[in-house]
Structure 1
Amino acid sequence: MAEVPIIRICSLGLSALLAAGLAGSPALASRGDSAAALNRFVEARLAESSDQSQVAAAIYAQSLKEQPDNALLAGKAYVSAIETGDVELAVKAVRVLQLRGQAEPEMPLLLFASAFAQRDWNGAELAAVELEALKNFAFLEPFLAAWLETARGGDGIAILSRARSDATARYYLEEHLILNSLAHRREKEALALLGAVVERNEPRMAPVRMIAARHLWARNEPEAAKDILKTRSTAPEQRLYQQIETGQKKGVAQKVSASTGLAFLFQRLSSDLASQQADFLSQLLALASAHVAGNSDYARLMLGRSYARAEKHDRAVAEFSRIGSESPYFLVGLSSGIASLVADGNYKQAIARLDSVMDRDPDSPELHILKGQTLQAQGDHAAAAGAFASAVRLGERLNRSDLVMANYWLALGGAQEQAGIWPEGLESLRRANELQPNSPTILNYLGYAQLERRVNKAEAVAAIKQAHELRSTSPAITDSLGWAYFITGDHERAVTYLETALEGQPQDPTINEHLGDAYWTVGRIYEARYAWKSAKLFAEDEDAQRLASKIDLGLRPDLVSP
């Protein structure tokens, strides 16, 4: 699969300016603005600065009603509306900016989504023309036209062929040929294309496999659906496969429609733009997708993820919570929601949410894994080990694959090691390695945990060497190997590997401290203190205290890094 194409988003856009606060001064408003309007503007800015985005959006909406030709207000209302998920306000703001000749390249996409959701085909067509005129997203024209034609009852396949003339559009063509064939109930054509997708087994195409399998299940073709999912490479695919095998259709089986296809176009763009750190545009497209798709679990998941990236965790949790328990994406949504709660420090709420789900499904090892991860984030490693032990027990009872069980044992061993439950932790890590003997992650953890305790040095070094052979580009594993050489007395070789690790992760406190210790030992005193000072910038608690002592006193046996 080719790399994700870079989408042109570099124009000096209104949304970027406003999001940065460069166009947000009341002094830029027209001189005819009333004092009351200016006061409301200030109120909105204050609400934004206090992270009260909903309040700010409401103020901008009211102000825009009173001053419908104020481009500054429209710009602020537009950004605020996208951030709070208010499509109606965003559309109104875009209309104002269009009249003032200040529309940005992405704005017609929102107008297209709004018109499409209202079955205003002429309005959608006009938005597509405006999009093409603004250039940056013009490559989407064949896809928008194809899904619009499909919604009107026509055939969009011929229109999709226009995408072949543009390199960026070609990157998205295969998936839309598949989805459009399914929307037109031409399953044989779709399956011919899906064969290559299934064989390539790319993570990027997992959502396409999911959509196709759910469609075929809705069309009463369970064997064809399961064949698409045969690799079961992702957790949603595994869950969907099980649901089809057990005959569950409610909340699972879904036929592909024009709305499905258009929503997926926006979802895909949202994901790709997020990978380019274009978070505002990513959020806009996720919102457009949810607006078109209606009550779609995958649309909720993507919108929730966009809010989480923007650190709007309350909104993210709300979206993730809307994914029903029957959905193949339920566990992913639950996990994402828990991650947002943890990111906000709401550990009690996260655990309460998990407990409520586990009350209904106490025998799910995945839920016990998720609870263990949450407890680890809270710092309760002993309790986490208990949760992971339950996951191991249930996973073995349910005959989970060796790969899954290796990850369960790794989680258990890691929690036990952090809780000081040793040598039980070592036995768990060894069991993970037995089940998955060529995993660089497992080998590195197995070796490093023993190095920290200065036990079984030969076994530890051998495990880390094997991990490095399998993944030599990993800074973490390269650091482990360098530290292994340090512990075993090969200090010059340790410096070589630790310097290489630092090139990959120059701000990592552990690598900097290890390198500082190695430098001091080989007589490079100035460089040692520089490395320790760099480590101290990001270190915490006991690590920071140890580094401060080394900077002052130099390396003593009791100050060597663990």
Structure 2
Amino acid sequence: MSGYSDRNRTDASAKKRNCSSCRLAAGLGMDKMPCMSQNSLLPDMRFPGFLSRAGNVPAMTPMRTTWRRGILLAASLLAGCAASGVGSGSSSGIGHLLHISSSAGAHQSAAEDASARAYGDFLAGRHAALQGAFNQAADSLLQAMKADPGNRDLVRQAFIACLMAGRPEAVNLARQLPENPAAQLVLANDSVRDGDWDAASQRYAGIGQNGLTQLLQPLFSAWTQAGADRINGALKTLLPHIQGGQLQGIYALHAALIADQAGRKQEAASFYDIAAHSLGAENLRLVRIMASWQTREGHPEAAIRLLNNLGSGGEVLGMAIPALIEASAKPVVPTPADGIAEAYLALAATLRQQPEGADASRLLLRMALDLRPDFTEAKLLSADILDADKHKQGALEQLSGIKDSDPLAPLAQVRRVVLLDETGHTDQALAILDKLSKQFPSFAFPLVLRGDILRNKQQFEAALNAYDKAIALLPHPQSHDWSVFYNRGVTLERLHQWPRAEADFQKALSLSPDQAAVLNYLGYSWTEQGMHLDRARQLIQRAVEIRPNDGAIIDSLGWVLLRQGDRRAAVRYLERAAELVPNDPTINGHLGDAYWETGRKLEARYQWQRALSLNPDPTERPRLESRLEQANQDADASTTKIAP
């Protein structure tokens, strides 16, 4: 089937959003920093779809889409639906963080008052920061500071670079920025590490009550009081926020953790119940905390049930469940310092779901890791943000810091697999999958992902071998397993094993009947072979109903209508498809065929020429060239015939 590699592609371009977050940049003292956030197209990472192996995966999808079928980003689940409104109002967004300023003042100072080398260091630091290489940026900016130590803007920028790189110099630089709220957070964290809870409380309180800090202040206040063993005051601080508001669940969870650490079990149980009802049972972070509570309270069966229910959402998380069960014997948040890190994570996960929230999330996650360097969920979320911002090496560095013994290590390993493949290290990616297959021999996912990688590399024989082994581990396939059969069907079709491919497509539909990708692929395949055209049209029409703005699927409908002789309708649908996906060679070629069939021969020749200019599939090119050559010959013959 020529040109079918893009048959299920849906072109989705990120639309620019107005930066609703920028108004609160001043809240962290970073309002001068240029906003470089990418408009990332991330799914809602709550259950069930994000955990399933059976996400809506195109036939030949980029690996970025593939891993989203099965990988749970644990931290992003913490906020859940409780934070649905955060970031959209005038007092809760935040942006323009983390990236080194190119303000005129910085340029003038570096250019006029510092040496040329210092200016070069400044430019190198700025470039490194824009690439997300904050450690390199810190080196360059600290070097530039030696030539211009009094430049406050340079100090501020070096501070941000050191902060984001996790460098100890951030603390000393923060002391030079008494008016900068982010610097005060760093100094407050430093007091927390030293166990100086009164100093930490004063630092946190001095940051103010604007925007993001307004959400964090109750948590900071409660945890610093808990650290000073003032439990009544800590719980009293949180109670008004637990009684209402969009972050009710987060505040209740932190009250529960404080009461739990203090051994006040009855109050802890009550607050845990409020948090569970507010955040939902599909929240990994909450389930981990609740499972630990149940185990430590003598109810290990309840803990196992909670975690197993969570693991039923997909095999990636399923691989982590045994280790999570074992880890539930210990508190998930054992100290007040860990509680403050948890507060940073909660708000980072909340903001990550908002437009332009990535920069604020990255800063908050850095604060969390500052207090708890082994905070796996913070590393996972940080890696996700770096990946979305195209900083794949930085994402890999975050993930490499997660130990193999960590309960969530399988999630990190699968993320590493995808990033390694995307950065050209496919052999390393496949080696990790081999290790996972040996470590979890009863789980199909490592084999499925291996098949996906090889299929995307067009190594179809090897991909088929991986899919066959994966499906052998699925004796009783569930609805979420449809994509495994679908992707094996695509692989079989590419290997010209149509009977087996057809059976897999039909199996996928039997598991999940309304998958537009499968409906379209099977319907289009039948159309190409000139078989079951009525049924093919029905399948494709159903796919169009599900995805009415998918150009590739609309093209399929036009194509089957043309094959059935309904030329006018075919032209209408194919023109619509070409509007939606103007640079698709297959669609333009089909539109040319439809124009030719309706006598619009000049337009047909134009469409075929355009299709050839769009780098069609090698198997598609000969047909297009033949059609165009014959059309040109016909045109020449017609011209000769009517010549005087």
TM-score, normalised via structure 2 length: 0.69
Alignment of 1:143 onto 2:223: no
SS at match of 2:479: helix
Q: Give the AA of the match of 1:442.
A: V
Q: Distance in 2 between matches of 1:250 and 1:435?
A: 35
1:175 maps to which residue? 250
1:58 maps to which residue? 139
Q: Distance in 2 between matches of 1:159 and 1:265?
A: 15
1:433 maps to which residue? 509
After superposition, the Cα gap between the structure-2 partners of 1:41 and 1:436, relative to the gap in structure 1 and judged at 3 Å, is closer
Tell me by how many angstroms 1:265 deviates: 3.6
Q: Distance in 2 between matches of 1:438 and 1:286?
A: 39
Alignment of 1:312 onto 2:388: no
Instruction: Name stretches of at least 5 consecutive residues in structure 2 with no aligned partner.
Output: 1-80, 633-644
Of 384, 387, 390, 2:466 maps to 387
Q: Give the AA of the match of 1:384.
A: A
Q: Give the AA of the match of 1:437.
A: P
Answer whether contact 1:237 1:328 (CA < 8 A) is retained: no
1:559 maps to which residue? none
Of 376, 382, 385, 1:297 maps to 376
SS at match of 1:376: helix
Q: Distance in 1 between matches of 2:217 and 2:351?
A: 18
Q: Distance in 1 between matches of 2:491 and 2:328?
A: 36
Tell me by how many angstroms 1:469 deviates: 4.1
Higher relative contact order (CA 8 A, sep 6+): 2
Q: Distance in 2 between matches of 1:374 and 1:381?
A: 10
Compute the RMSD of aligned alpha carbons: 4.3
Alignment of 1:88 onto 2:165: no
1:488 maps to which residue? 564
What pairs with 1:451-490 in structure 2 (closer than 5 Å)? 451-470=527-546, 472=548, 477-490=553-566
1:255 maps to which residue? 332
What pairs with 1:3-152 in structure 2 (closer than 5 Å)? 3-6=84-87, 13=96, 15=98, 18=100, 21-22=102-103, 26-29=107-110, 31-34=112-115, 37-42=118-123, 44=125, 54-64=135-145, 67-81=148-162, 85-96=165-176, 98-99=177-178, 103=180, 108-132=184-208, 134-135=210-211, 137-152=213-228
Answer whether contact 1:433 1:439 (CA < 8 A) is retained: yes
Answer whether contact 1:252 1:326 (CA < 8 A) is retained: no
SS at match of 2:87: coil
SS at match of 1:249: helix
Of 388, 404, 411, 1:332 maps to 411
After superposition, the Cα gap between the structure-2 partners of 1:243 and 1:86, relative to the gap in structure 1 and judged at 3 Å, is closer
Answer whether contact 1:26 1:42 (CA < 8 A) is retained: no
SS at match of 1:423: helix
1:363-393: CA deviation from partner (whole Å, max 9, x where unpaired) = 4312111222222233322211211111111
Q: Distance in 1 between matches of 2:109 and 2:620?
A: 48
Of 226, 229, 237, 1:159 maps to 237
1:207 maps to which residue? 285
Tell me by how many angstroms 1:46 deviates: 6.9
Tell me by how many angstroms 1:336 deviates: 1.0
1:90-130: CA deviation from partner (whole Å, max 9, x where unpaired) = 4444444x34x5x3x66655555454444443443344334
Higher mean C-alpha displacement, 292-301 vs 271-280: 271-280
After superposition, the Cα gap between the structure-2 partners of 1:61 and 1:378, relative to the gap in structure 1 and judged at 3 Å, is farther
Answer whether contact 2:351 2:357 (CA < 8 A) is retained: yes
Higher mean C-alpha displacement, 339-348 vs 279-288: 279-288
Tell me by how many angstroms 1:79 deviates: 4.5
Q: Distance in 1 between matches of 2:551 and 2:211?
A: 41
Q: Distance in 1 between matches of 2:564 and 2:213?
A: 57
Q: Distance in 2 between matches of 1:22 and 1:525?
A: 58
Of 362, 366, 382, 1:283 maps to 362
Q: Give the AA of the match of 2:430.
A: I
SS at match of 1:132: coil
Q: Give the AA of the match of 1:405.
A: D
Q: Distance in 2 between matches of 1:226 and 1:465?
A: 45
After superposition, the Cα gap between the structure-2 partners of 1:33 and 1:360, relative to the gap in structure 1 and judged at 3 Å, is same
Q: Percent identity?
A: 24
2:401 maps to which residue? 322
Tell me by how many angstroms 1:509 deviates: 6.5
SS at match of 1:256: coil
Answer whether contact 2:95 2:356 (CA < 8 A) is retained: no
Name the larger-Rg structure.
2
Answer whether contact 2:86 2:93 (CA < 8 A) is retained: no
Q: Distance in 1 between matches of 2:85 and 2:388?
A: 19
Alignment of 1:408 onto 2:489: no
Q: Distance in 1 between matches of 2:281 and 2:243?
A: 27
Of 261, 265, 269, 2:347 maps to 269
Instruction: Name stretches of at least 5 consecutive residues in structure 1 with no aligned partner.
Output: 557-562
Tell me by how many angstroms 1:491 deviates: 4.0
Alignment of 1:353 onto 2:439: no
Q: Distance in 2 between matches of 1:312 and 1:292?
A: 24
After superposition, the Cα gap between the structure-2 partners of 1:365 and 1:250, relative to the gap in structure 1 and judged at 3 Å, is same
Answer whether contact 1:507 1:538 (CA < 8 A) is retained: yes
Answer whether contact 1:61 1:77 (CA < 8 A) is retained: yes
Tell me by how many angstroms 1:427 deviates: 1.6
1:417 maps to which residue? 493
Q: Distance in 1 between matches of 2:404 and 2:294?
A: 21
Q: Distance in 2 between matches of 1:23 and 1:39?
A: 16
Tell me by how many angstroms 1:466 deviates: 3.3
Q: Give the AA of the match of 2:433.
A: L
After superposition, the Cα gap between the structure-2 partners of 1:423 and 1:12, relative to the gap in structure 1 and judged at 3 Å, is closer
SS at match of 1:295: coil
State the number of aligned residues.
Answer: 537
Tell me by how many angstroms 1:419 deviates: 3.9
Higher mean C-alpha displacement, 51-60 vs 541-550: 541-550
Q: Distance in 2 between matches of 1:24 and 1:340?
A: 38
Q: Distance in 2 between matches of 1:172 and 1:550?
A: 64
Q: Distance in 1 between matches of 2:511 and 2:604?
A: 40
1:391-414: CA deviation from partner (whole Å, max 9, x where unpaired) = 111232xx5x51243332223223
Answer whether contact 1:300 1:319 (CA < 8 A) is retained: yes
After superposition, the Cα gap between the structure-2 partners of 1:327 and 1:443, relative to the gap in structure 1 and judged at 3 Å, is farther
Q: Distance in 2 between matches of 1:24 and 1:452?
A: 64
Alignment of 1:223 onto 2:301: yes
Answer whether contact 2:467 2:484 (CA < 8 A) is retained: yes
Q: Distance in 1 between matches of 2:609 and 2:359?
A: 36
SS at match of 1:392: helix
After superposition, the Cα gap between the structure-2 partners of 1:305 and 1:509, relative to the gap in structure 1 and judged at 3 Å, is farther
| Larger fraction in helix | 1
Answer whether contact 1:215 1:256 (CA < 8 A) is retained: no
SS at match of 1:395: coil
SS at match of 1:5: coil
Q: Give the AA of the match of 1:425.
A: A
After superposition, the Cα gap between the structure-2 partners of 1:27 and 1:392, relative to the gap in structure 1 and judged at 3 Å, is same
Q: Distance in 2 between matches of 1:216 and 1:369?
A: 34
